[in-house]
Amino acid sequence: MKILLVDDNKYILEALESGINYPSLGFDRVFTAKSMESALAILQHEEIQVVVADIEMPGGSGLELLAWINRHMPLIVTIFCTSYANFDYAKKAVELQCFDYYLKPIQFTALYQILERAVKESKRRKRMEEKSRMGDKWFKGISENRKHFWIEALLMVYAYSEEELEELALSRQLPYKNEDTFTLALMKFTKRNSRIESFNFSMEQFALKNIFDELLSKEGVQVEAFIKNEYEAWLLILTNISKDSSLPWREIFKKVIMQVEGVLECKMDIFYHADQPLGEIRTSYLAMERAYLSQPMKQGEVKPFEEGSLSWPETDPEESDSVVEQIKAYIDSHYQERITRDSIGDIAFYNTAYLAKLFKKKYDRSLGSYILDCRMERAKELLLTSNLSISEIALEIGYDNFTYFSRLFKKKTGYAPKDYKRAEKKNVSNSASNSFRK
């Protein structure tokens, strides 16, 4: 630790420097200054924890020094050691949150005790600052985790099962459950002014997010993520954190449009799908996206998604079956890979939401569930027939997160991977023993 002593009287400064056993308090360096100017020079080049300063000095007072410290280095603990029992000085020192106000003549025993408390206060401030920094980092991390989760769940990977979505959220420290509901909103500028036209992606995102965060929080709505999709529309994922079981989403989004018009002087339309459970969120988004792209909207319009408004193309049943079988065959040989919308789109030129609907109709399970089943069956086979480690098996079937794979495996089989092999051997042994008795 380092301490700075500031006094324009060289004899008092020498007494302060020699009259206290600073190493016993934890100070390994003692700096001295005779003016505010020289004190500032030291503060800007050394990491000082405690300052002991006079108040009246030429070229700048101790009060001015404390005001500067509060603005630039608030972790520093400042003590005044002065000859002036002036009420105005004392009042100003309190306003500036001086740690202690000690009147000369100096009694070193009393000053030592004040410095002991100052050291404790310095350590407390340091701990609080570290906690605050960690908190900021944590909140920033959680915000990034949310964004990456939704990009992964809605825009990147073609299909997740319900079990995978919950585990994916858990792996990103997000407390989402399949029954949790989210409102999705797609929005796009329909009329821009020259100011917005000059914005780059980050500036546009920053401006809109500030508007959404401020307005929606007042409505009992939390912004989970705010991302741009491949069609250059902004996608908002929202949760209801109010006490009301349902919210007037249309009215809320009208306020959003009015705010955007008022602040940015632009027109925007909003298409939304309210209160969708996490387990069905991917299907909901694909259907909503297709409807948004196919249904023209008026400038400044707010429109809810309606299931009945979505029309599917007329297809020959045999052709549909053939396409679905091609998709199944593709999954059977590529389940260990990252299956994206593009990879499915290369097989069949149908809308991805429609393909998911056809697959579920034929096989009575979602694409995501089928991919998960393929992976888990292969994992069971490898656990029983290979010498691969569990982490190697996880990689073999498409999971680079060992913990994520282990939790999924236990959900599907009732066993952790390390216990599955032992349990299966025991079952085989028991079956053989029973057959022998017969």
Question: What CATH number is attached to the domain comprising 40?
Answer: 3.40.50.2300
Confidence class for position 327, pLDDT limits 50, 70, 90: confident
256 within 8 A of 217, measured Cβ to Cβ: no
Q: What is the DSSP string of 182-227?
A: EEEEEEEEEE--HHHHT--HHHHHHHHHHHHHHHHHHTTEEEEEEE
Residue 317: inside a domain, yes or no?
no
Q: For residue 406, is pLDDT > 80?
A: yes
Q: What is the pLDDT of residues 212-249, one digit of tens each?
A: 888 888 888 988 988 888 777 889 999 998 777 778 99
Cα first-last separation, the chain? 82
According to the model, what pLDDT value does residue 316 have? Answer: 62
Residue 135: inside a domain, yes or no?
no
Question: Which backbone phi and psi does 100 adopt, to 5 degrees?
Answer: -155, 155
The mean pLDDT of 344-370, rounded to a whole number, is: 76
The mean pLDDT of 41-61, rounded to a whole number, is: 91
| CA distances, 99 to each of 67, 70, 167 (Å) | 13, 12, 50
Confidence class for position 142, pLDDT limits 50, 70, 90: low
The mean pLDDT of 357-370, rounded to a whole number, is: 84
Q: For residue 310, is pLDDT > 60?
A: no
| CA distances, 398 to each of 147, 221, 364, 393, 414 (Å) | 22, 36, 24, 9, 20
According to the model, what pLDDT value does residue 163 have? Answer: 81
Task: Work out the burial of residue 165: count CB atoms within 10 Å of its CB; fewer than 13 is exposed, 13-18 middle, 19 or more buried.
Answer: buried
Whether residue 108 is found in the same domain as residue 31: yes
Lowest-pLDDT range, 4-8, 100-104, 373-377?
Answer: 100-104
- Of 86-95, 275-284, 337-346, 427-436, give the range with the top mean pLDDT: 275-284
Residue 291: inside a domain, yes or no?
yes
According to the model, what pLDDT value does residue 369 have? Answer: 87
Q: For residue 112, is pLDDT > 90?
A: yes
How crowded is the C-beta side of 261, counted as CA atoms within 13 Å? 14
- From 129, 156, 171, the end of a domain falls on 129
Q: Tokens in use for 215?
A: 């307005």
Please count the structural domains in the chain: 3
Residue 168: inside a domain, yes or no?
no
Lowest-pLDDT range, 133-147, 151-165, 274-288, 396-410?
Answer: 133-147
According to the model, what pLDDT value does residue 430 have? Answer: 57
| CA distances, 114 to each of 14, 316, 416, 421 (Å) | 19, 88, 59, 66
Q: For residue 78, is pLDDT > 90?
A: yes
Q: For residue 17, is pLDDT > 90?
A: yes
Distance CA 57, CA 437 (A): 102
Whether residue 111 is found in the same domain as residue 201: no
According to the model, what pLDDT value does residue 138 have? Answer: 45
Whether residue 265 is found in the same domain as residue 384: no
Count of residues in the chain:
438
Read off the CATH number of the domain in which 189 is found.
3.30.70.270
According to the model, what pLDDT value does residue 57 have? Answer: 86
Higher pLDDT, 269 or 428: 269
Whether residue 9 is found in the same domain as residue 91: yes
According to the model, what pLDDT value does residue 38 have? Answer: 92
Residue 392: inside a domain, yes or no?
yes
Q: Which residue range is the domain that position 385 belongs to?
A: 365-438
Confidence class for position 183, pLDDT limits 50, 70, 90: very high
Whether residue 193 is found in the same domain as residue 103: no
Distance CA 328, CA 366 (A): 11
Whether residue 112 is found in the same domain as residue 209: no
Read off the CATH number of the domain in which 414 is found.
1.10.10.60
- From 85, 114, 129, the end of a domain falls on 129
- From 308, 341, 357, the end of a domain falls on 308
Q: Which of 185, 5, 186 is nearest to 79 (CA)?
A: 5
119 within 8 A of 140, measured Cβ to Cβ: no
Whether residue 15 is found in the same domain as residue 104: yes
Whether residue 20 is found in the same domain as residue 117: yes
Residue 385: inside a domain, yes or no?
yes
Whether residue 123 is found in the same domain as residue 6: yes
Higher pLDDT, 257 or 346: 257
The mean pLDDT of 203-213, rounded to a whole number, is: 81
Confidence class for position 139, pLDDT limits 50, 70, 90: very low
The mean pLDDT of 79-96, rounded to a whole number, is: 78
Element (H, E) at 153: none
How crowded is the C-beta side of 219, counted as CA atoms within 13 Å? 23
According to the model, what pLDDT value does residue 109 have? Answer: 92
Whether residue 380 is found in the same domain as residue 264: no
Residue 151: inside a domain, yes or no?
no
Q: For residue 437, is pLDDT > 50?
A: no
Higher pLDDT, 167 or 309: 167
Average pLDDT of the chain to the nearest whole number: 83
Whether residue 281 is found in the same domain as residue 378: no
Sign of CA dihedral 68, 71, 73, 75: positive
The mean pLDDT of 361-371, rounded to a whole number, is: 86
299 within 8 A of 190, measured Cβ to Cβ: yes
Q: For residue 140, is pLDDT > 60?
A: no
Confidence class for position 77, pLDDT limits 50, 70, 90: very high
Distance CA 130, CA 423 (A): 48
Q: Is 432 helix (H, G, I), strand (E, B) or coil?
A: helix
Residue 327: inside a domain, yes or no?
no
Whether residue 375 is found in the same domain as residue 260: no
Q: For residue 151, is pLDDT > 60?
A: yes
Q: For residue 141, is pLDDT > 80?
A: no
Q: What is the pTM of this model?
A: 0.55
